[in-house]
Amino acid sequence: MLARLFIFAILFALLSACAGKPEGRYQMRNDQAPARLPTSAEIEPLTPRFEPLSRQGNMSSYTVLGETYQVMQSAEDYQATGIASWYGQKFHGHLTSNGEYYDMYSLSAAHRYLPLPSYVRVTNLANNKEVIVRVNDRGPFHPERVIDLSFAAAYKLDMLDTGTARVHIESIHMPPPMLVDTETLYIQVAATSNENNLLALKNNLQEIYALDATTRERAGLHRLLLGPFSESQANQWLYKLRQDGYEQAFRVED
């Protein structure tokens, strides 16, 4: 396998050299395989979980190369059979459609219609190997292909040599956690005696995270709250907010 991949990479490099200089935002003109295979840690199976829809990449429709595509409102019950391809080093480190950075060693994929992010199980019908991938990008825009897999996902399906494979795709629908009736949680991001000072931050947080933001007053102090959340949602969002620089954020009960 490694020897075949090495030959495959050499052929890709030769084709790229003959194609001329890169165009647009990519450093390569043609895609190619990286110099190494994924590590065992990089292809550990994913555990699907509920994620809110990303702020980017989920417009109701979009147009590419003159073709308009309608984005599904939900991935629930989605199944499809068709040709899968994979994309690699040319796109590594560039932004995906939902605003993340493409990592060819992650178990991810691009799809034209599924909401972002979504989880799907992809089975190679030639060998029955399967992989769960997180869909975070748009494509492939080739009419005969149904999904574009990351390099690592293609490796798990043993389709690197062929470049494409006939696959079956099945969505893994993760419903949002149920809100706990006895406890409604919010995340307090900031507090000030002047409510006007919170308005710009409130609008900014709503725009970035697509969350409900409200201000509440207690004893002359105006607080900016995000929510409501369930227990698990509050923990996830608190972690993300702190990672994004809101280190003083904390959970509060209604």
pLDDT tens-place string over residues 59-110: 889 999 999 999 998 999 999 999 999 998 888 888 999 999 999 999 999 9
Degrees to nearest 5, angle at CA 154 with 63 and 75 = 50
* Strand ranges in the chain using DSSP code E only, listed in sequence order: 61-64, 67-70, 79-87, 108-110, 118-124, 130-137, 145-150, 164-171, 185-192, 213-218, 221-229, 250-253
Region 170-199: mean pLDDT is 83
Which residues are CB-neighbours of 57 under 8 A, at least 6 positions away?
Answer: 96, 97, 98, 99, 116, 136, 137, 138
Residue 178: its pLDDT value, please? Answer: 63
Report the CATH superfamily, name and number, of domain 185-253. Sporulation related repeat (3.30.70.1070)
Tokens of 172: 């893994």
* Domain extents in the chain: 30-171, 185-253
According to DSSP, the β-strands at 67-70 and 61-64 are antiparallel
Q: Is residue 7 helix, strand or coil?
A: helix
Distance between CA atoms of 216 and 187, rounded to whole angstroms? Answer: 12
According to DSSP, the β-strands at 130-137 and 108-110 are parallel
Contact between residue 238 and residue 251 where contact means Cβ atoms under 8 Å apart? yes
pLDDT band at 26; cut points 50, 70, 90: low
Distance between CA atoms of 228 and 87, rounded to whole angstroms? Answer: 39
Report the CATH superfamily, name and number, of domain 30-171. RlpA-like domain (2.40.40.10)
Same fold, 30-171 and 185-253: no
pLDDT tens-digit readout, 106-162? 999 999 999 999 999 999 999 999 999 999 999 999 989 999 999 999 999 999 999
